[in-house]
Amino acid sequence: MQITLESYQQAFEGNQEAMAVMNSFSEHNSQLSALLSKLTRPVSTVYQPKMNKQIEFTKKLRSMIGVGITVATRKGDATLLYTLKLYRTQLVNASAFLLREMAVHLSEEMTPHTEILTGLGITPELFEAFNQMIQDFSVTVDNTRVQLNVRKSDRKAIRSLLKTCNSIVRDQLDPLVLTVEDEQPDLFREWFTLRARKKGKSQLNGLETANSDISGTVTDSTTNQPLAFAIVTLVEQGTVTESDEDGYYTFDELSEGDYTLSCHASGYDVPEVVKVAAGKDDSVVVDFNLKRVNPILN
């Protein structure tokens, strides 16, 4: 639509109001294109480096927990022994944040026992390297969280820009193109072909009521990572969509009213359905945080 307007820009020369509207549409469209370009980069480029580091970090932490268990046994510290054994059982499903907290606690507990650690082969240099690994992993986790939040914010910005562009098209550009129908029949034809509407003016003047949307993200409650291919259902309409690689889903072109959403994914518990109210031209955000199925209970 932007290309079409630029091709027929001479049709509005001398009309300052028309040029202002076209410039506004162009500016918002450019912002939208820039955000879309950013989000075409796979989300795996954001969290895969963290996942790679997490695998290495978990292996090292498992080894250090084993050393800590030996230290706790020698010192007769039953409380620390219980805690470290609990940590060892939690490693498989622990989130990055929990792994970091485990490591920090382990480091604090082991610091007073450098002599025993050295006797077990953990020299001060190796122990310092472990602490540095904790710091590096913490930075990676925090940076990944920031980048994922930026992507989420960009998604919301895209929804807002789309609404703004649609509003400009519907309320300002459509009437402008109608004013030059006789002088610029090619522009009229191309424009409303893109708009996927008939040429009837009564239809063009009609009010659009289905302009609300519901969107959100689906994440894994253990890892806090986006969950792709989760099934989200808009119950009233029987409409189903899947979350994308960012865990993002959306239902658009909704009329004002009350809606019910459900979400499920293979291997996860089904959360309670969510009821929301969408006002006219409203954007409602509903996020789902899914818990993995407990194999003991299933």
The mean per-residue pLDDT over the stretch 139-153 comes to: 89
Query: What's the CA gap between 79 and 101, in Å, rounded?
Result: 17
pLDDT value at position 295? 53
pLDDT value at position 48? 84
3-class state of residue 295 by DSSP: coil
Give the burial string for 250-272 (b: 16+ CB within 10 Å, else e).
bbeebeeeebebbbbbeebeebe
Q: How many CB atoms lie within 10 A of CB 144?
A: 21
pLDDT bucket at 201, cuts 50 / 70 / 90 = very low
Q: Over 90: is that where the pLDDT of 271 sits?
A: no
The mean per-residue pLDDT over the stretch 129-139 comes to: 96
The mean per-residue pLDDT over the stretch 20-27 comes to: 94
Token readout for 92 is 């498989």
The mean per-residue pLDDT over the stretch 100-105 comes to: 96
pLDDT value at position 222? 82
Query: What's the CA gap between 251 and 238, in Å, rounded?
Result: 12
Q: Is the pTM of this model over 0.75?
A: no
pLDDT digit string, tens, across residues 236-245: 888 899 998 8
Q: Over 90: is that where the pLDDT of 231 sits?
A: yes
Three-class DSSP labels, 163-223:
HHHHHHHHHHHHHHHHHCCCCCHHHHHHHHHHCCCCCCHHHHCCCCCCCEEEEEEEEECCC
pLDDT value at position 221? 86
| Percent of the chain whose predicted confidence (pLDDT) is above 90 | 56
The mean per-residue pLDDT over the stretch 49-64 comes to: 93
Evaluated on CA atoms 147, 149, 150, 152, the torsion sign reads positive
Query: What's the CA gap between 74 and 68, in Å, rounded?
Result: 10
Residue whose tokens read 């008939």: 198
Q: Over 90: is that where the pLDDT of 26 sits?
A: yes
212-290 topology per CATH: Immunoglobulin-like (2.60.40)
